[in-house]
């Protein structure tokens, strides 16, 4: 039996490559000396993509493959894939939801604790021999904090459960209230920011959320306010955040995601009162393996005629159109 042609748009975990090579004829775009020639050669035959966030799956790329039927993307966020266009063109897009909820929620709480209690800075202080001179200065605290979650979805709820265990009140903002959720809902992000002193961002990227955490929201958060972002860098107006941190109109920030990764603004890197992680929310061996398996399982289930396992909302399965 001939194997269907699959294009891998950029390097992916070895286990994904090994498993997919058993079921598909795997073409690795990043290894091609002449990428344009490979794209031209494969245009008539490719039916599937496996994709990370390194290459944008836009209409210009997907549109070159008239037989393309599925894009299996690594990660729960899929802002690098034009899923609306895919849906309109009979292509199903899959992501890797749920298997990373607890890991990313752990990271969010770790980042919040590091930011409030300055743990990375205390480590640097000890290693620099400064403890021999005097104790580390007293820090801020999680006590008396109220957390507003922007994006109370799968990961947001896992974060909220942890915050409850820490004894912190939780409220949330999204496009709509969730009837089965007991936390207070704010239809207005600015109003929520005014009522909390931690803004926990775990909303997706893309046009609808671009820079929604803007100067007005940061001003509403106020001088005791802390921003934690494990969603997408594009959700924050990064220039406004830098200005707020520089002018101390907010207290601090803990950031796992940035507007133009892996480039991080020099102004942020120079600030010692904030905490920066290199997008490690889901980055444990355990969780990355689970995500990898879901990328493979989606493609294999689809190729077996059983349908994709986790299609995104823009491309429901079976297709409705
Ligand atoms: P999810 O279950 O779809 O939750 C997303 C939440 O965002 C929903 O509650 C949704 O509420 C809200 N939302 C969506 N669009 C919005 C908008 N325009 N304005 C305000 N709220 C909006 O997704 P998830 O699985 O929790 O993942 C969330 C995001 O986390 C991912 O998309 C990804 O960007 C990020 N992430 C980051 C890492 C990392 O390593 N740092 C790892 C995994 C995921 P409504 O529908 O009510 O608006
Ligand atoms: C991954 C993520 O680090 O799932 C997501 O949306 O942001 C992370 O889990 C990312 O997808 C890997 O590129």
Tell me the average pLDDT of the chain: 98
Handedness of CA 97, 43, 39, 63 (dihedral sign): negative
Domain ranges of the chain: 5-98+286-303, 101-276
Cα–ligand 2 centroid distance for 286 (angstroms):
14
CA-CA distance, 31 to 21, in Å (whole number)?
A: 15
Cβ-based neighbour number of residue 207 at 10 Å: 7
User: Is the shortest distance between the CB of 97 and ligand 2 below 6 Å?
Assistant: no
254-285 tens-digit pLDDT: 999 999 999 999 999 999 999 999 999 999 99
Cβ 76 under 6 angstroms from ligand 2: yes
Between the alpha carbon of residue 133 and those of residues 126, 130, 139, the distances in Å are 10, 5, 18
Beta carbon of 209 within 6 Å of any ligand 1 atom = yes
CA nearest neighbour of 278 among 298, 249, 258 = 258
d(CA 174, CA 91): 28
Pocket of ligand 1 contains residue 151 by CB under 6 Å: yes
Looking at the annotation, which residues are catalytic?
Answer: 232, 261, 279
pLDDT greater than 70 at residue 125: yes
Q: Cβ neighbours of residue 288 under 8 Å, at least 6 residues apart? A: 13, 282
Report which of 273, 291, 272, 271 is spatially closest to residue 281, judged by C-alpha positions: 291
* Domain covering 101-276: architecture: 3-Layer(aba) Sandwich (3.40)
pLDDT band at 321 (very low <50, low <70, confident <90, very high): low
pLDDT tens, residue by residue, 88-123? 999 999 999 999 999 999 999 999 999 999 999 999
Closest CA to 241 of 206, 176, 193, 192: 193
Mean of pLDDT values over 12-20: 98
pLDDT in tens, 192-243: 999 999 999 999 999 999 999 999 999 999 999 999 999 999 999 999 999 9
Q: From ligand 2's centre to the CA of 230, what distance in Å?
A: 10
Pick the residue whose CA is nearest to atom 5 on ligand 2.
Answer: 75
Q: Per-residue pLDDT averaged across 306-317, rounded? A: 98
In whole angstroms, how large is the CA radius of gyration of the chain?
Answer: 22
For residue 281, the cross-strand partners are none
Q: How far is the CA of 174 from the centre of ligand 1 (A)?
A: 9
Say whether 101-276 and 5-98+286-303 share the same fold. Answer: yes
Give the fold, CATH level 3, of 5-98+286-303.
Answer: Rossmann fold (3.40.50)
Identify which ligand lies nearest to the alpha carbon of 234: 1
């Amino acid at each position: 039996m001939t194997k269907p042609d699959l294009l891998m748009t950029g390097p992916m975990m070895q286990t994904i490559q090994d498993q997919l090579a058993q079921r598909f004829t795997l073409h690795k775009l990043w290894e091609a000396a002449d990428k344009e020639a490979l794209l031209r050669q494969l245009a008539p035959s490719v039916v599937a993509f496996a994709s990370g966030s390194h290459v944008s799956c836009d209409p210009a790329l997907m549109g070159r493959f008239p037989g393309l039927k599925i894009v299996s993307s690594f990660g729960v966020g899929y802002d690098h894939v034009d899923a609306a266009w895919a849906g309109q063109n009979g292509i199903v897009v899959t992501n890797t939801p749920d298997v990373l909820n607890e890991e990313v929620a752990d990271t969010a709480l770790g980042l919040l604790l590091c930011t409030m209690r300055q743990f990375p800075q205390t480590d640097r202080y000890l290693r620099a021999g400064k403890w021999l001179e005097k104790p580390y200065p007293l820090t801020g605290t999680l006590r008396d904090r109220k957390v507003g979650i922007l994006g109370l979805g799968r990961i947001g709820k896992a974060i909220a459960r942890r915050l409850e265990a820490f004894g912190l009140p939780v409220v949330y903002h999204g496009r709509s209230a969730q009837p089965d959720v007991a936390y207070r809902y704010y239809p207005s992000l600015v109003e929520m920011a005014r009522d909390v002193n931690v803004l926990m961002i775990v909303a997706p990227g893309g046009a609808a959320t671009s820079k929604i955490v803007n100067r007005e929201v940061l001003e509403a958060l106020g001088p005791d306010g802390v921003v934690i972002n494990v969603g997408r860098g594009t959700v924050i107006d990064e220039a406004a955040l830098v200005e707020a941190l520089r002018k101390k109109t907010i207290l601090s920030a803990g950031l796992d995601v940035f507007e133009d990764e892996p480039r991080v603004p020099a102004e942020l890197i120079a600030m010692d009162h904030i905490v920066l992680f290199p997008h490690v929310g889901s980055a444990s061996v355990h969780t990355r393996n689970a995500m990898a398996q879901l990328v493979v399982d989606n493609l294999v289930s689809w190729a077996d005629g059983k349908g994709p396992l986790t299609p995104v909302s823009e491309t429901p399965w079976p297709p409705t159109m």
